[in-house]
Amino acid sequence: MGFFDKLFKKKVVEQVADEIDKSEVPIYPMIKRADWKGIGLVKSQSFLNLGEKAELAIVFAQDAGNSFVYITDSDLQLPGVTENFQQWQNNIDAYPYEIVLAASLGDRVLTASGEDHSAEKVLSSAFLGEACQALNTDRLVISMPRRRCLMVTSYYEDFQTLEDFFRLHFVAWEEEDYGNEQISDMVFIADREHVEYAVPLGFRINLYERDGQFNLVYSTLDELFNENGQIDFQSIMERNKIPVY
């Protein structure tokens, strides 16, 4: 399967959930927008706040065959479910994934997309460590615009690689045809152990065709250029970063 197939793989439409034993079926974290309609009905913990406002939360899902069911606070009153719930971190650490390096981008961008909990691998220090090793870096920039989508590059990449990375990030964020639920248009900065920051980029990159030529166009209300008249993506990320957790 090619790089873009792995990034944009369609999900199967969720259907009515089967009955399950919540004390037995593995529990996995799922990152949701804080305005998700079910957020007040399920067990959740904060992942990112913007000021006083919740932006992203972690909920806890179980595979019910045709759909997911979610752990609730009342579920956690049951001893068997509580013991099962305590395994969620081990479960996401062990969740299978395949790192694919993008040859078209000089092997400097990787994906680990296509599975139900691919985006949540950012919660696994084992995955972050392997991603750092694959990219020969100690700091990562992560894109998880939608469920089942995960794309990673090194924080220290050159302008062209980061521009391509951010362009693909916005394509995935805006691409509704693939059906995966949106998570965030921000990117995230991580070290080998955990996600440290969320970054509202403050710009968009669009690709337009005119007279057979393709051109990238930036749209922003922020200042993009440094004193040398160049775009410094690292400076933009440092200026805009927000602590996670």
| Residue-wise DSSP of 38-67 | TGGGS-EEEEEEETTEEEEEEEEEEE-SSS
Say how far apart CA 241 and CA 234 lie, in whole Å.
10
Tokens matching residue 225? 């250029």
Per-residue pLDDT of the chain (245 residues; tens, 9 = 90+): 445 555 555 454 444 556 889 999 999 999 999 999 999 999 999 999 988 889 999 999 999 988 899 999 999 999 899 999 999 999 999 999 999 999 999 999 999 999 999 999 999 999 999 999 999 999 999 999 999 999 999 999 999 999 999 999 999 998 887 678 999 999 999 999 999 999 999 888 887 777 777 788 888 877 887 777 788 999 999 999 999 97
Rg over alpha carbons for the chain, rounded to the nearest Å, is 19
Please give the Cα distance from 103 to 208 (Å, whole number): 24
CB 71 within 8 A of CB 159: no
Contact 163, 188 (CB under 8 A): no
Angle at 235 between CA 231 and CA 238, to 5 degrees: 145
Listed residue (18, 94, 126, 93) closest to 62, CA to CA: 18
Please state, in angstroms and rounded to a whole number, the distance separating the CA atoms of residues 29 and 46.
Answer: 12
Helix (H) or strand (E) holding 91: helix 88-94
pTM beyond 0.85: yes
Count the helices and strands in the chain (H runs, E runs).
6, 13
